[in-house]
Amino acid sequence: MSIQILDGKVPGRPSSSPVRQARRVWSSNPAVVLWDTSSMVCCERPTHSTWDGNETWLIMAGITLLAGFPLAYSVLLPAFYLPLVAMLLSLGLRGVSFEFRHHSAHARRRWDAVFGGGSLVAALAQGAIVGGLIQGVRIERETFAGGPTDIFTPFCVLTGVTVLAGYATLGAGWLRLKGQGETRSFAGAQLRWLALAFLGLTILTSVAAVNVQSELALTWGRHPVALSLFALAFASCAVLIAWAARRDDVADGVAFALAMAMILSGMASLGLAFFPNVIPFKISLWQAASGTASHVFLLIGAGLVTPVVLGYSAFAYSVFRGKTPAEGWEP
């Protein structure tokens, strides 16, 4: 997950005053589009370098769930049809907006809006899925017994907004790392409150989660030390991000690294709370697992494909390392 940027004027369009121009943060993760009133930020060439690799991880996750844990796949897919379809369509619109904006001379603002809307919906959909997993999926005789609208609850809305805040924090951190001048300053101004907002929303979500899912309280009792350490790391990173964003003598990569640490600590906490269940508090990994032959096949496939994806991603990030030039990357 990354955000790539390009400061400067939009090719083929006359320059306008800073007040009328907009700064957009383009990302290859489902982060929001951040707005400011100073300059346009584009990212077509650099973002393309990481877009394909990130799509591959999504495909690999779906294949792993289908082949390795078919019972979980048969339950989770109908349970989350609507947010999954919304997320996939949104990601598709984001990819299309890259190409059409690049070749459009008069409708670039419309494709900007398409990209921003796709980013927003994709993030909210992912957060809603997390909320649906926490609040529980109704299962009878190892089949989904609920409805497609079970996910539309206030708690899932809260988790959606929380995930959105997390992606925004991560995106602003990357923008601070890669941007220069006004773009870097803009990112710093957003980080001062985004990280703290993410922390506050996470605390609120955690309190609500215990009320929605009583099993979470038992999980805290089983792993008090590990979960406490994760919570402390999460809160410390949020405070440090807000502090680092106010200082020019702190390396620009610090905020992004801390934002990554926040995301990873949150994911680790959820993973520890859910383990050993693949469907939280309902079906374990061992119950949902397919036969040994299927797992061996998956392991061989992952062993062949994963190094290729990692190598491609490493090469792309190496080519576009450092600050993004004000005139953009040369084709």
Residue 50: is its pLDDT beyond 90? no
Largest Cα–Cα distance of the chain, in whole Å? 64
For residue range 120-153, list pLDDT tens digits in order: 999 999 999 999 999 888 888 888 888 888 889 9
What pLDDT does residue 313 have? 80
In the predicted model, what is the mean pLDDT of residues 167-182? 85
* pLDDT band per the 50, 70, 90 thresholds, residue 51: low
Q: How many angstroms separate the CA atoms of 56 and 64, rounded?
A: 12
In the predicted model, what is the mean pLDDT of residues 49-56? 62
Residues 6+ apart with CB under 8 A from 180: 7, 323, 324, 326
Q: Are 116 and 33 in contact (CB under 8 A)?
A: yes
DSSP string, 65-105: HHHH-HHHHHHHHHHTHHHHHHHHHHHHHHHHHHHHHHH-S
Residues 6+ apart with CB under 8 A from 93: 114, 115, 117, 118
What pLDDT does residue 327 have? 59
Residues 6+ apart with CB under 8 A from 192: 242, 245, 246
For residue 179, how far is the Cα from the chain centroid?
Answer: 20
What pLDDT does residue 46 have? 41
Q: Where are the domains of the chain?
A: 63-319
What pLDDT does residue 128 have? 93
Angle at which helix 70-79 crosses helix 44-68, to 10 degrees, equals: 120
Which one, of 304, 284, 298, lies nearest residue 139 by Cα? 284
For residue 274, how far is the Cα from the chain centroid?
Answer: 20
Whether omega for the bond prior to residue 276 falls within 30 degrees of 0, making it cis, is yes
What pLDDT does residue 3 have? 38
What pLDDT does residue 2 have? 38
Q: For residue 8, give the 3-state DSSP assignment.
A: coil
Q: How many angstroms separate the CA atoms of 109 and 68, rounded?
A: 43
When the pLDDT of each residue in the chain is averaged and rounded to a whole number, the result is: 79
Strand partners, 41: 7
What pLDDT does residue 54 have? 65
In the predicted model, what is the mean pLDDT of residues 294-306? 88
Residue carrying structure tokens 């406490």:
228
Query: How many CB atoms sit inside 10 A of residue 325's CB?
Result: 12
How many residues does the structure list for the chain?
331
Which one, of 310, 317, 215, lies nearest residue 272 by Cα? 215
What pLDDT does residue 131 have? 92
Q: How many angstroms separate the CA atoms of 133 and 136, rounded?
A: 5
Query: Greater confidence, 222 or 240?
Result: 240
Q: How many angstroms separate the CA atoms of 294 and 4, rounded?
A: 38
Share of the chain above pLDDT 90, in %: 25
Most confident of 21-30, 58-67, 160-169: 160-169
Share of the chain above pLDDT 70, in %: 81
